[in-house]
Amino acid sequence: MAACKRENVAFDRPGGETCPKASRRPIDMDQLEKQTSGDRALEQDVLAMFAQQAALTLDAIASADAAARKRLVHTLKGSARSIGAMRLAASCERVEGTPMEARAIAGLAREVGAVRDFIAAICR
């Protein structure tokens, strides 16, 4: 995986529109930087491991019972918080509360997809 790009640009579109606010990004890069002490190689490794863990967790949830789903999303929630993926962590929390609800699982899948897409975009 190539080095991750930091998104510290004032403008990112030809029309001069500003970059999205950090709160709109699936990952709070400031939180990630704090967790990795600014080590870019470590950030890359952490993000790659997280993307893999998230995909494996979603696969496991598909065939898991309620208790197993709670354990799986609890672990994913902690990992998501550690990298600054707070919307994903909130989605995990919803699944913890209603582990068999299809809408909660669908929301979790969307958030995992958004985080994985973001990781792929910055780690090209």
CATH of residue 95's domain is 1.20.120.160
The range of the structural domain enclosing residue 101 comes to 22-122
User: Does any domain span residue 66?
Assistant: yes
- What's the pTM? 0.80
Mean pLDDT (the chain, rounded): 87
User: Does any domain span residue 1?
Assistant: no
Q: Please state whether 37 falls in left (phi above 0), alpha (psi between -120 and 50) or beta.
A: left
pLDDT band at 5 (very low <50, low <70, confident <90, very high): low
Question: pLDDT (tens digit, 9 = 90+) per residue, 47-87?
Answer: 999 999 999 999 999 999 999 999 999 999 999 999 999 99
User: Does any domain span residue 101?
Assistant: yes
User: Does any domain span residue 3?
Assistant: no
Amino acid 81: pLDDT: 97
> To the nearest whole percent, how much of the chain has pLDDT over 90?
79
Amino acid 99: pLDDT: 97
Number of separate domains in the chain = 1
User: Does any domain span residue 10?
Assistant: no
